[in-house]
Chain A
C-alpha cells in the first residue's frame, strides 16, 4: 500500500541518484527553483523516474538528506561535504510557495492553465489526472483510434531558461571534475521528458499504444509574460549590437537613434516566429547572453497556458473516375457566387468520401483535367481524395459504401472504380511523370468537304506527328504566351454511317496537348492542324477522353 509505493519510489530514486554528481548540486538546483523532472533531464536520467507521480520536490529533498546522512560527511571528489547549512531550500517553501519551475515554467510539473481554469492547484500534478483530461478529448470528438503520438509545442523562452541554468552551473561548478565532462547535448529535452512522463498513463486511459503516427495529440504551451520578457531581452541585445556597429561607422552620439531602434526592434520582434527567435538565441554568444538574461532565471509565478487538440493525419482514398455529363466540371467552379455547370466531380466524390469517413474537410487531386464539356470515358482518370481529421480509418466495406453512394446516385454524372485507401506517397506517385503520360481521345469532327479514302490513309499514316501550339486564345488571358511543341502519337478516322462530312477522329497524344485547337487550328496558331493536313476547314463538335494511360489505380 502506501509503504509499498514509498518503497518503489525509493528504489526509483536510488537508481536515478546514480546520475547525480552530488546531493549538494541537486539541493542547489532545487533551491534556485528547478523542478525534479528538469533536474532529471539535466543529468540524462531515463526511464521510470519521469512517470512516478510521487516524486515531488520535497520527496526528492528528503531522499537526498537521507542519502547525505548515510554518506556521513564524506562527499565525492574528496571535497568536504557542505552539510545542510548551505541549502536554503526548506520543505516549507516547497509546500506553500507559489512559484513554478524556472526552466519549464510548470510544463513538466503538469501544472498549467487551461481555458482560464487552473488544471492543477498544486505544483506537482498527478499524471493520471492530467492524462485523463487529454483522453477525454478523444471521446468528445468521436474519434476511433488504433494508437497515438504526442506533439508538443513549448515557448522558446524555455530554451533560454535552460541555457541560463547552464550558465549558472558553469559559473559555479566549472572547476569541478563532474562538470568538465558534462555537455549540454546530454540533456533530455523538455518535450521528450513530457512524453516519457505521460505516455504510459495515456496508453492506459485510451487502451491503445503510443508511437502511432496517424493520430496526434497536440499540446500547445504558451506563456505570455515570460515570452514578453524574452522579447525585451532580445531587443536589448539587438540594440547593443546595433550600437556597436553604429559606433564603428560613426562616432556620433546615438541617444535618439537608440530610442527609435529600441521601439523598432520591439515591434519587429513581436511578430517574429518561434523559429526565428530560436535561431537568434542559438547564434548568441555566451557573454552576450549573460549580459541580457537573468542568471539563474527567475522563478515563474504563473504556469504556462495549455491548449490541447487532437486530430487524425489526413487519409487518402484513390481510384479512377468517369464523367458522363457535358455539364459537370472537374473542380468546383463558382464565379460571383454563381455556380458554373450543374455539379463537379470534386464535390460528388469528395462529399461522399467525407461523409463516410466523418472527416472535417476534403481536397481533390486528379492526374490532369478535362473541360466541362468533355466526357471522361474508358478506364477513367486517376484521382486522390485527401480527407482531413477523419473520425476513423475507413475499412474496405466503408470504401465500398462510398463507391455505391457515388455510382448509384440518381443523376449518374460520375462513376468511380478501383477505389481504395492509399498512403500519402500516392500523391507524389500520381504527379510523377504526369507530363509524359499519353492520353487517348475521340473527337466528333466536321470538315468543309466530303471525306475520301485518301484522307483516311493520310491521317492514319502519320505516326508521332510534331505540332506546335501557341497558347490557345481561350486560355491566353491566364496563361503565358508560349509556343509548345507537342506530339500526336497516332490518329485514326472512323466513318459515321449516313454522313460524308462528319467522322470520329480517334487520337493518342502527348500530355498537355490542346485537342480542340488541334482540330480547328485556333486561327492558324496551332500548326499543323487537322484542317491544314486535310486542306480544308475542320470544326470539332464533341470531345471525349477515352483513356488516360497511367499504371495507377488500374
Chain B
C-alpha cells in the first residue's frame, strides 16, 4: 500500500504524542510510588497528627475521665477517655441522651461562618447523659466556649462509645475563645501525664 507523505507525518506525530503521554504517565507513576523503607509499620492516626490530646481526670466526680482534642485552629473535640467509669460498666453504654435539664443539646442548629447563634457554656455545663448498666453518667464540657456541634449519631448508635469512644464516639465540638482556652489549659493533663496517672 502506498502512503502519502502527509499520512506518514500524521502517523508519526500521533505516535509521538502517544509515546509522550506514556512517558508522562511513567513519570507520574514514579512520582506517586513511595519508598517502602520510608513507610512506618503503623502510621500516626488522623487524630494524633491533627490534634493535641488533653485529658481531664475525675472531672467533677471520681472516675469521670474525659478527653479534649484541640485542633491547631482552636476547636476542641470533647469525649469520654478510655478510663471513664461508664465504659467499664457491664454491657457498656446503652443509651445517650442530649436532653439535659434546660434544653436538648441535639436540637440546636448553628449556622454561618461566624457561628453567632451558638450557645455559650461553662466548663461544668452538662452536655449529655450516657446510660450504662442502668446508671446515668453526666458528660460535661470541660472547656468554656460556644457549642458548635453534638454527635447526634450517638442517639441512634450509642454503641459507638463502646467501639470507638476516642474517634467516632466523640461527644461534641466546642469553640473556646483564645483567652478562655489559656485559662483552662494548665488544669488539663497532657496525653503522657494522663497515661502515667492511670498507669497505662
A-side interface residues toward B, CB under 8 Å? 324, 375, 377-378, 442, 444, 446, 470, 473-481, 496-499, 502, 504, 516, 520-524, 537, 539-542, 544, 546
Contact residues in B for A523 (Cβ distance below 8 Å)? 47, 77, 151, 167-168, 170
Bound complex: CA A541 to CA B43 (Å): 8
Bound complex: CA A497 to CA B71 (Å): 35
Contact residues in B for A444 (Cβ distance below 8 Å)? 34
Q: Does the CB pair B32–A499 fall under 8 Å?
A: no
Bound complex: CA A317 to CA B167 (Å): 47
Known: A477-B75, A504-B32. A539 touches B148 (CB 8 A): no
B46 interface residue (CB < 8 Å to A): yes
Checking B39, B42, B168 against A499 with a beta-carbon cut-off of 8 angstroms, the contacting residue is B39
Q: Does the CB pair A481–B33 fall under 8 Å?
A: no
Contact residues in A for B31 (Cβ distance below 8 Å)? 324, 375, 377, 544
The SS class assigned to the B binding surface is loop
Q: Does the CB pair B115–A481 fall under 8 Å?
A: yes
Shortest distance in angstroms between A485's beta carbon and chain B's nearest beta carbon?
A: 17
B103 interface residue (CB < 8 Å to A): no
Q: Does the CB pair B73–A477 fall under 8 Å?
A: yes
Interface residues of B in 69-94 (CB under 8 A from A): 71, 73-75, 77
A-B contact pairs, 9 of them (CB 8 A): A377-B28, A442-B32, A476-B75, A476-B173, A477-B71, A480-B111, A522-B46, A523-B151, A523-B170
- Closest chain B residue to A544, Cβ basis: B32
B149 interface residue (CB < 8 Å to A): yes
Contact residues in A for B170 (Cβ distance below 8 Å)? 523-524
Checking B74, B149, B167 against A481 with a beta-carbon cut-off of 8 angstroms, the contacting residue is B149
B143 interface residue (CB < 8 Å to A): no
Bound complex: CA A539 to CA B43 (Å): 8
Contact residues in B for A541 (Cβ distance below 8 Å)? 34, 39, 43
- Closest chain B residue to A497, Cβ basis: B36
Q: Does the CB pair A446–B168 fall under 8 Å?
A: no
Contact residues in B for A499 (Cβ distance below 8 Å)? 36, 39
Contact residues in B for A522 (Cβ distance below 8 Å)? 46
Residue among A473, A475, A476 with the highest chain B CB neighbour number at 10 A = A473
B138 interface residue (CB < 8 Å to A): no
Q: Does the CB pair B74–A477 fall under 8 Å?
A: yes
Known: A477-B73, A523-B170. A496 touches B33 (CB 8 A): yes
